[in-house]
Amino acid sequence: MKYNCRLYKKWPFISLMVVLPSIIFALPITSNVDCDDGSKKMVQRYNIDVINHRVKSVEYVEFQSKNENENNKYKYSYSIISQIEKENDENYENDNNDNHQPTIEEYLNYINIKTKEENKTSTIRSEDIIELSNEDNTRVKKDVNLFNFHLFCIESTKENCEKIHDNLNDIGISLSKQIIIEEPINILVKSISFCNKLGKDCGSIKNFATSTPTAFYSIIDTTNDTPYLYPQALVKQLDLNGSIEFLKYDMIITINSDINYWFWSDKNEIGSEQIDFQHTVTHKMLHGLGIISGLSQSFKKDQSSIFNVISHHKDHPYLLPYIYYGVVGNFDSPIIKDILPLFVFDKYLKIIDPYTKNKTPVSNYMSLLYESKLLNDIKNNYISLSIKKIEDNYEIFEGLNYLFNYAENSQWIFDNKENNDKYIPIETWIFNDWINGLSGSHIQCNNYFHTARNKDDGLMCTFIEEGVQLIDKYSKLLGDKELMMLSTLGWKLVTEDQKPNNENEYLFDEDEIMTHEDKTDEIEEELEDEMVYESNKEYKKRYMLPASHYSKNKNKTTNIKKKYKFSSRYEN
Instruction: With both helix axes pointing from N to C terminus, report the angle between 394-408 and 383-392 in degrees, rounded to the nearest 10.
Output: 80
Interval 442-474: pLDDT, tens? 999 977 788 988 888 899 999 999 999 998 998
Residue 521 pLDDT class (50, 70, 90 cuts): very low
Full DSSP string of 280-338: HHHHHHHHHTT-----B-HHHHHSHHHHHHH-S-TTS---B--EEEEEETTTTEEEEEE
Closest-CA residue to 54 (of 91, 84, 89): 84
Query: 206 pLDDT exceeds 70?
Result: yes
E runs forming strands in 52-126: 54-65
Dihedrals φ, ψ of 115, to 5°? -60, -45
- The SS3 of residue 530 is helix
Q: Three-state secondary structure along 131-171? A: EEEHHHCCCCHHHHCCEEEEEEEECCCHHHHHHHHHHHHHH
- The SS3 of residue 447 is coil
Among 68-72, 335-339, 451-455, 498-502, which range has the highest average pLDDT? 335-339
Taking residues 202-220, report their average pLDDT.
Answer: 89
Region of 40 on the Ramachandran plot (φ > 0 left; ψ -120 to 50 alpha; else beta): beta
Query: 528 pLDDT exceeds 50?
Result: no
Angle at 475 between CA 264 and CA 447, to 5 degrees: 85
Dihedrals φ, ψ of 22, to 5°? -65, -40
Residue 64 pLDDT class (50, 70, 90 cuts): confident
Confidence (pLDDT) at 16 = 53
Delimit the domains of the chain by residue range: 1-35, 44-288, 298-435+478-559
Higher-scoring residue by pLDDT: 117, 125: 125
Higher-scoring residue by pLDDT: 198, 342: 342
Least confident window among 205-214, 427-436, 528-537: 528-537
Taking residues 164-177, report their average pLDDT.
Answer: 94
Query: 71 pLDDT exceeds 80?
Result: no
Alpha-carbon dihedral of residues 442, 446, 450, 456, nearest 10 degrees? -50
Interval 283-292: pLDDT, tens? 999 999 999 9
Burial string for 414-441 (b: 16+ CB within 10 Å, else e) reads bbbeeeeeebbebbbbeeeebbbbbbbb
Q: Find the helix or strand (DSSP H, E) in which 414 lies.
A: strand 412-414
Confidence (pLDDT) at 97 = 40
Give dist(CA 564, CA 237) in Å, integer. Answer: 12
Confidence (pLDDT) at 199 = 83
